[in-house]
Amino acid sequence: MTAPPTNNAPTQADGVIDWLTNGTRDERFIDNIFAQMCIRLQQAGVPLKRSTLHVQINHPQWLGARMFWSDGMQGSEIARVDYDVRERSEYIGSPASEIIEGADELRENLERDPSLGRKHAIYGEMRANGLTDYVAWPLYHTLGKQHVVTFATDRPGGFDAAHIAALRKVLPVLALVSEIRIKNRLARTLLETYVGSHAGELILAGATRRGTGTTVRAAIMICDLRDFTKISDNWPRDDVIDLLNDYFDAMSEPIARHGGEILKFIGDGLLAIFPLQAPNACANLLLAVSEARGAMAALNERNNGTGRAPLNYGIGVHVGDVMYGNIGSTSRLDFTVIGPAVNMASRLETLTKTLGRTVLLSRDFAELVEGKCELERVGKHEVRGFSDPIELFAYHG
């Protein structure tokens, strides 16, 4: 399939094309560019009243996004689109669905008798808003990636041939400009998804060489699910995956909400840090733990209704300096933290099993939250890999 045909004859879009090509280099976000493009098309004489840009993105939660612009708006509204949208009436039979399914162009005269036109709720809404003409085209990116752009007017008689020619002419340049921004956003999204937001920013800023990194003072939290081997051996595969996802949701969302960063999931465990440069980082870690405890209790209650055994877990918490950066082979790197402080948090998590406590804190961490929460003194205990016994505290909040 190819883009809608254009020609080199001058059109009302020529100034807009020059701006898209040369005037948007410092604009990072496609939604801002899209809104300004619509305004400039208006100023050039194209009677736009409404326009949308529908893009597909690779995000763990969203299939894509819809950018909406209407006359009088200086920016565009962005709505995220769920993966299950294709099963809903708002999508089935819609202009976007027709374009995605192979239509090269979709044009609808909204002034004619509705019974003679296409049947979908969106056309009724546009007629109710006084729109007279509507056109939708595929917007092609490289390797067959396809998005959708739409334009509508309230001009009596709809768009004329010159207006359509101008809109067609702008499409290839909009495709190039939008692809760059969407891929930049995609790269950022993928990094945020797989390594975390802060690490992702560092990698995008150029921290990609093995051995590069920095020393960060942080509170370290390591969490592990109990009896996971037994669960994975006895449960159906899909049930195990659902269980892990529910467990990680319960743990992860409070961590992110209170300023922590999850650096990795390790089987049924997770490693997170709360950098001490943030005010109240240690207290925020405990708030995250408290909320995660509540979320796990709610998850166990739901699971109990389906006959599943409750999930148990252990959390070890320490504070100290960690090396934060790139570690790995010459061609495969991991952005993570290492150091004795990480080892201590891991050992404390292991001790939760033998000491019968869900959350164990080192004395170094406990001193930083002294007076801010109630802690149970557990006493001094030998910690594997450390020469002297470590005084430990349990947190039940």
Q: What is the pLDDT of residue 1?
A: 40
Q: Specify the fold of 208-395.
A: Alpha-Beta Plaits (3.30.70)
Residue 222 CB burial class (10 angstroms; 0-12, 13-18, ≥19)? buried
| pLDDT for the residue 327 | 76
Average confidence score pLDDT of the chain: 88
- Structure confidence at residue 325 as a pLDDT band (50, 70, 90): confident
Per-residue model confidence as pLDDT tens digits over 8-24: 667 788 999 999 999 99
Q: Which of 188-197, 292-301, 346-355 has the lowest mean pLDDT?
A: 188-197
pLDDT tens by residue, 179-231: 988 877 666 666 666 666 666 666 666 666 776 677 889 999 999 998 887 88
pLDDT tens digits along 27-66: 888 889 999 999 999 999 999 999 999 988 766 667 788 8
Question: Which residues belong to CATH 3.30.70.1230 in the chain?
Answer: 208-395
DSSP string, 358-395: SEEEEHHHHHHTTTTS-EEEEEEE--TT-SS-EEEEEE
What would the pLDDT profile of 142-165 be if each residue is shown by its tens digit?
Answer: 887 889 999 999 999 999 999 999
> Looking at the predicted structure, is the pLDDT value of residue 278 above 80?
yes
Tell me the range of 257-261, 300-304, 324-328, 381-385 where mean pLDDT is highest.
257-261
345 pLDDT more than 80:
yes
Largest CA distance in the chain: 86
End-to-end CA distance of the chain, in Å? 60
Every domain of the chain with CATH number 3.30.450.40 lies at 14-194
AA identity, residue 78: I
CATH architecture under which domain 14-194 falls: 2-Layer Sandwich (3.30)
- Mean pLDDT is highest, among 33-47, 78-92, 94-108, 328-342, for 33-47
Q: Strand 50-56's sheet: what is its strand order?
A: 77-82, 62-70, 50-56, 146-153, 133-140, 106-109
Average pLDDT over residues 325-347: 83
Please give, one letter per residue, the 3-state secondary structure of 120-148.
Answer: CHHHHHHHHCCCCEEEEEEEECHHHCEEE
With a pLDDT cut of 90, the percent of the chain lying above it is 55
What's the angle, vertex CA 61, arms to CA 55 and CA 62, rounded to 5? 15
Residue with tokens 């950098």: 275
As a whole-number percent, the residues of the chain with pLDDT over 70 amount to: 90
**pLDDT digit string (tens) for 255-264?**
999 999 898 8
What CA–CA distance (Å, rounded) separates 128 from 114?
11
- Least confident residue range of 25-34, 131-140, 265-274, 334-343: 334-343
User: Which residue in the block uniquely carries the two structure tokens 């809608």?
Assistant: 4
Q: What residue type is 153 in one-letter code?
A: T
Q: What are phi and psi of 73, to 5 degrees?
A: -85, 135
Side-chain-side CA neighbours of 382 within 13 Å: the count stands at 3
Quote the pTM value.
Answer: 0.65
Contact indicator for 262, 221 with CB cutoff of 8 Å: no
- Choose the weakest-confidence range: 78-87, 140-149, 280-289: 78-87
Instruction: Give me the mean pLDDT over the 258-274 stretch.
Output: 90
Phi, psi of 173, deg, nearest 5: -75, -40
Distance, in Å, from the CA atom of 52 to the CA atom of 75, rounded to the nearest integer, reads 12
